[in-house]
Amino acid sequence: MVPRLPRKQLIVVGAGFAGLTLVKALDHLPLDILVVDTHNYHLFQPLLYQVATAALSPADIAYPIRRIFRAQANVTVALGTVERIDLAARQVGSGRVSVDFDYLAVCVGATHSYFGHEPAWGQRAPGLKTLDDATEIRRRLLLAFEEAELEEDEAARRAKLTFVIVGGGPTGVELAGALREIAADELQKDFRYIDTGTSRIILVQGAERLLPQFPPTLGEQATVNALGTL
């Protein structure tokens, strides 16, 4: 009888789009895969702006990681945070616990930049990368309308109905458009003393045009739409 060789172990840190795509591509291989994430859900980040503008609830864009891999026999899911990586020893660890690996994939994604001004800017202007970010932005947006409804000073009311979004990439453009839409339509039905349609949405972009990651025609069209509605 030929002895059975031990299976190799792959640890995937992060269950975002990259981590999920990698693990799914390795189905049916003689490989044991451990997926580690700080959350027990996969987040569909492209729709975070809709949570931030109260169009969707957080549960609409979060799906349990264990359910995603329930039929993939070579996958184990662990909730946790990897605090250290020892490449020489081929181990990842958290606290006093260390786990060996043969292969390691770090798929933790990216975060926003405050150009060296964190945490001061972060307190005033939350980014939009997580569910916590989205619910915090939603809280601030809705609270601004509530405060404007009770504000008697016209200048102060205008200030509360002015929103500045920094970054003209896909997220910034989508957030600005969604905010303009709910302010001009949905929210107006709920308030008595303010015209939410007069809200000012200011989209600030440091690059030469909106949507610099996309073809120029799309950036030009987004600019035309923004000038007409924001």
Which residue numbers are catalytic?
174
In one-letter notation, the amino acid at residue 40 is N
Closest CA to 48 of 106, 118, 110, 132: 132
For CA atoms 67, 70, 75, 76, give the dihedral sign.
Answer: positive
Cβ atoms of residues 129 and 38 within 8 Å: no
Strand order through the sheet with 97-100: 84-86, 91-94, 97-100
In one-letter notation, the amino acid at residue 212 is P
